[in-house]
Structure 1
Amino acid sequence: MSKTLKDLKIGDFAIISGFVTEDVPAKLYDMGFIPGTEFQVKNKAPFGGPICISIINNKSLLALRKSEASQILIEKI
């Protein structure tokens, strides 16, 4: 079973390995979510709120909806 960004816990590090479908919103690419990108989960809002991650190579903080996070396949490191 493939893991997605939504499955990670606060403090976990991972690498983006791909996407669940070929129909990926361009906004994810624009935000830096491309295969090979390393990131860390910084915070997860309660009650189905957004997930905050830090992209390692440029130290940017980004927030994603859980529906978006469930589309990003990852490999935990």
Structure 2
Amino acid sequence: KWDGTPEDEMRHDVTDELAAYKLATLPFPGVFGVFYETDRPTKNALEKKWIETTREKTGGASDLEILQKTFDRMK
């Protein structure tokens, strides 16, 4: 995250999306590092929440039970 040192063209607040795009569009050779950082849930955290919500809706059924119910509906 931003370390409190003074900003300049190459050192910017990583939560500033516009500054990140300015750095990303610099001509060759460009710059390296973190351009933009935002706090949001990871893919794994979102999947875990989705699975937990689904388990609550199905009454805690196992994977096999859910799969079997799905196949039964297809008959």
Q: TM range, normalised to the smaller chain? A: under 0.3
Higher helix share: 2
TM-score by length of 1: 0.24
Which has the bigger relative contact order, CA under 8 A and spacing at least 6? 1
TM-score by length of 2: 0.24
Higher strand share: 1
Larger Rg: 2
